[in-house]
Structure 1
């Protein structure tokens, strides 16, 4: 329990004189906000209408237009392309995939899940190659992924995860436990008892990737309409095509694809479909060379830990540390954040984790803080589908593992829209449907309880508990993961 008021806790955090909280992510503070594109000029007809201008929508438009240039494609975006999680995330171009592998395997067998994991490995390289081909400079460095355990319970989970992943197609070259020398050579995490390494991950600057993708698809002839709010998506009925109803008019299309991720609840009839989960980040001012000599991190690996309320971090291209984690995890009624503003207690909590993992960075001022939302299905498993009968399609529910998954989703939606039977369309996440989240106030109470239990478990384990806390096991049971 915190006994100090939020303002007092935040006052302990060293902050840059130029500190900013909310409004936009640090990534857009670097690039500058894009000039807004024109809104939808009125009702129109297209072959494919994509609702949502984030990575999923942009990748889908890119692959459709590259494969069939004569398709008339539009993207409808309430703010600007890349406004949501695509421009606010932690910059992990990772092969990690959301959801239970056993649940995915139950649909089409163990090999299908192994194929899905292999598709994620390949997806990392696909994004890197496409960015290079299209001249998109997104500060991409494929340094791999380190997961560190800083207490005995975390170490037990980390080693168990390696053994589990061997069953799902991870070979020794895909993931391994580092010896202490390699661990310290890569990143010196204070108190690390064990750490794993996987080469299947790259550091990106998220906003640069989003802005570059938007420019690329627009150059291919895709129409991107911004400041256009979609209120409802309607299926094909009789001879009437599928429709996206907006505040600027209606768009009729053979396919209307929903790519709204954490903002899905804003659409009519979708409030309980995917829960908008909140995640927050802070970034320091650049660290000096002496600090980096002590920390290491020369390979620009991505970094995660094994806490239940886990963190994700990167060393940026300009030598800052950006670190994120759950803040206020969920707002009542599936509400979303107030344009990226972050709670003072969340900033303080992230800084405490940063200081614990990297004492040499404890005095580095915090330059910026922000937050965003991600989509969480009731079974915590990502999904993609397109139904030729209704003309509707969707992808999302990435649960925070979406940067690479959006690319796989875009290529899969391309094949589904074009009626192809491919290796991608046979992957086990295709066509997955789950029950909706509980109505309020059960939804809010359940999420609050889950994360309170996770935080309690982390505190107990930090006291050197040898095994995973029972509080965490209870939280997992309630969450349905």
Structure 2
């Protein structure tokens, strides 16, 4: 297949480097979804603000331009964990869940209003149960959702699943309507152009070497502002977030006959209830785009282009997709990149003095970044709103352990969840390994 080829890549506008020192009202570090949504909502709220976005590469270079295209209401930790945060409550956790659902719709509304054609289609998410252990988890997840929320997560029997997607070995599934399939590259590039039209200045190829309340330093000059926003996700320096790689493959456009066999007519995103995460969608141009975890964490949080290319993992993803639908498609694309994982798996957003932040989405960032952007708008403009009172606001995860403990722990966790899936296939019972790991991975 050659070097990794990203299905979502496309032509982008060339933007200049920072030409020297300058002043702004708000300085945003990172031109991914978090930074661009924040710039968008600030510019809409106060057109007079001087907003500067600094990007080390190009707009959407990171996870925003490489993800699975799930604009979902998923939050990386459970409602129970959210309710247990300091100052939180059951009611606050439920409000966070509702805010996530509203964010799915908000992305679609803004895309339409701003003329961003990102292939947005809200077909929900089907998560298949294909073993007895997975079936038990699916039923338990539905019961928990009804306890903590408005009860919009449904359990589907095999015939109901077949009306949405026809996969192998299906015993049941969960379904939520709160997810849209999108083309993330089109969305992030469209957002970048939109914020520029609104008066935001975006500098590319301008790495920030240090940031602090009120200033961001680069090799080409220092930008000072009343507020600096850290929106760097998996590229955040230090031990705040661990960059964990997720990889994807995509097929050529499939024939009508193959789609008649598979289904997915309403373009629901899909997964199953295994422990090592997989995720997929039917793209607007008739491909299967499919991804999952399995690539290793690299010592000292190193990030390199070479880490996007792991043939062993690409091969496993291709084999999993073939087995899932009993098809033999031609694969035309394979790519990957790092996402940000906090030590407690809890995404957060906040403002402390002149330094704001958002991130730690653990791969659930397409819609969560939108919520972060609206929340940062309110925090920066000193508005007391329902968004600024959500339980993730102001949360600070403890730092990851120093090396080599971090490398050992993260990779051991990945191996443990792989072993848990194997254990369940052999024993046909819920894995004991997975039960032990659940508190460490957002359960």
Given candidates 207, 223, 228, the residue that maps to 1:229 is 207
Partner Cα separation in structure 2 for residue 180 and residue 149 of structure 1 = 9
Residue equivalent to 2:64: 86
Determine if the alignment matches structure 1 residue 43 to structure 2 residue 21.
Answer: yes
How far residue 357 of structure 1 moved from its aligned partner, in angstroms, is: 0.5
The aligned residue for residue 296 of structure 2 is 329
* Residues 278 and 337, structure 1, Cα contact 8 Å, conserved in 2: no
State yes or no: 1:458 paired with 2:425. no
User: How far does residue 448 in structure 1 lie from its aligned partner after superposition?
Assistant: 1.1
Gaps of at least 5 residues in structure 1 are 1-18, 236-241, 266-270
**What do residues 277-330 of structure 1 show as CA deviations (whole Å, max 9, x unaligned)?**
110000011111111111111110000111110200000111111110013231
The Cα shift of 1:339 comes to 6.0
- Alignment of 1:291 with 2:258, yes or no, is yes
- Please, what is the CA RMSD of the aligned residues? 1.3
Q: Which residue of 2 aligns with 1:312?
A: 279
CA 1:307–1:21 in structure 2 vs 1: closer, same or farther (change >3 Å)?
A: farther
TM-score (normalizing by structure 2): 0.97
Matches of 1:351 and 1:337 in 2, distance apart? 23
Pairing 1:51-200 to 2, within 5 Å after superposition: 51-106=29-84, 107=86, 108-171=88-151, 174-200=152-178
Q: How big is each residue's C-alpha offset from its partner over 1:97-131, in whole Å with a ceiling of 9 and x where there is no partner?
A: 11232232123210011011001111111110100
Match of 2:218 among 241, 246, 263: 246
Aligned to 1:228, the other structure's residue is in SS state coil
- How does 1:435-454 map onto structure 2 within 5 Å? 435-454=398-417
Normalised to the residue count of structure 1, the TM-score between the two structures is: 0.90
In the alignment, the residues of structure 1 paired with residue 156 and residue 215 of structure 2 have an alpha-carbon distance, to the nearest angstrom, of: 52
The within-5 A match list for 1:250-399 is 250-265=222-237, 271-338=238-305, 341-359=308-326, 361=327, 363-387=328-352, 390-399=353-362
* Paired residues of 1:151 and 1:464 also in contact (CA < 8 A): no
State the 1:340 CA deviation: 6.5
Separation of aligned partners in 1, 2:272 and 2:442: 22
In the alignment, the residues of structure 1 paired with residue 19 and residue 354 of structure 2 have an alpha-carbon distance, to the nearest angstrom, of 23
Pairwise CA distance, 1:464: 5.1
Structure 1 residue 185: deviation in Å?
1.1
Displacement of 1:461 in angstroms is 1.0
Instruction: Give the secondary-structure state (helix, strand or coil) at the position aligned to 1:186.
Output: coil
On the 8 A contact 1:327/1:343 being kept in 2, the answer is no
* Distance change >3 Å, CA 476–CA 329, structure 1 → 2: farther
